[in-house]
């Protein structure tokens, strides 16, 4: 990856943003003052999700809905929150609109019905697949795979850390700022190849949740000072 300076992030586009993950992150970042664009295959669904988020906020905010390609073009930074089965197709669709930007990939390669079993794709991980498809012109970063999204919209404190892997130190640093803005603790977990760990942990946490009948199993980094 080149060390070309990355533009400041003002507009965050969340593709597949009508689901729990997208709505939860959109809500947190809108609270932090970012302009949010919700992307969906259907414009009406994106606009409805944007209205839902605005109705939950207790402050003025700019949240709009667009189709996925329009949202990708509009955003300074792109967040991909789609099921793995549409991961490749979505990346191919948005490729022309994400060059020179950061893409945060929240995708986990879950293969139903055995979602508690770690099953990585031939590329090694969903993030490595994204890098192969998008090429070196786009910075790719993985984050938020291990977060229980049920708590995001409720303004609850999340008892789970965020591991951030990505194609450059610079890109990871910018994403860590967004993790903090969303009210979470993030850690620089190294290069793209390390994303296999954070993605794989999701299946393990799903299994633990099933054992205990919960939805909030998470991870924490211990033994080192907590980021401020």
* pLDDT band for position 2 (cuts 50, 70, 90): very low
How far are the Cα atoms of 15, 97, 208 from residue 42, in angstroms, in the given order? 11, 18, 35
Q: pLDDT for 203-212, tens place per residue?
A: 999 999 999 9
- Does the residue 202 lie in any domain? yes
Percent of the chain predicted with pLDDT > 90: 84
How far are the Cα atoms of 39, 84, 198, 214, 218 from residue 125, in angstroms, in the given order? 24, 11, 10, 26, 20
- Does the residue 119 lie in any domain? yes
Catalogue the long-range contacts made by 44-52 (C-beta closer than 8 Å, 24 or more residues apart): 45/18, 46/17, 46/18, 46/71, 48/18, 49/17, 49/18, 49/22, 49/23, 52/23
Q: Which residue has the higher pLDDT, 29 or 5?
A: 29
- Does the residue 4 lie in any domain? no
- Does the residue 44 lie in any domain? yes
Asked whether the beta carbons of 82 and 109 are under 8 A apart, the reply is no
- Does the residue 49 lie in any domain? yes
Which domain CATH number covers 75? 3.40.50.720
**Domain with 136 in it:** 11-212
Q: How much is the average pLDDT of 83-112? A: 96
Q: pLDDT for 128-170, tens place per residue?
A: 999 999 999 999 999 999 988 877 887 778 889 999 999 999 9
pTM, entire model: 0.94
- Does the residue 1 lie in any domain? no
At 46, is the secondary structure helix, strand, or coil?
helix
- Does the residue 228 lie in any domain? no
Query: How many structural domains does the chain have?
Result: 1
- Does the residue 179 lie in any domain? yes
């Amino acid at each position: 990856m080149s060390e070309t300076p990355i533009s400041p992030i003002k507009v965050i586009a969340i593709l597949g943003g009508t689901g729990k993950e997208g709505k939860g992150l959109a809500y947190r970042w809108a609270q932090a003052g970012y302009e949010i664009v919700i992307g969906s295959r259907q414009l009406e669904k994106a606009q409805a999700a944007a209205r839902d988020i605005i109705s939950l906020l207790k402050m003025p905010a700019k949240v709009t809905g667009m189709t996925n390609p329009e949202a990708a073009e509009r955003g300074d930074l792109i967040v991909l929150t789609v099921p793995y089965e549409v991961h490749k197709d979505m990346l191919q669709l948005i490729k022309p609109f994400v060059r020179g930007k950061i893409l945060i990939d929240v995708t986990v390669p879950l293969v139903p019905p055995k979602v508690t079993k770690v099953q990585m794709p031939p590329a090694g991980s969903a993030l490595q697949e994204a890098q192969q498809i998008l090429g070196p012109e786009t910075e790719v970063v993985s984050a938020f795979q291990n977060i229980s999204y049920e708590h995001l919209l409720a303004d609850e404190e999340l008892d789970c850390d965020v591991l951030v892997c990505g194609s450059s130190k610079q890109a990871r640093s910018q994403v860590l700022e967004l993790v903090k803005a969303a009210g979470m603790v993030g850690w620089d977990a190294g290069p793209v190849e390390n994303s296999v760990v954070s993605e794989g942990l999701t299946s393990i946490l799903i299994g633990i949740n099933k054992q205990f009948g919960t939805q909030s199993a998470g991870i924490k980094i211990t033994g080192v000072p907590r980021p401020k």
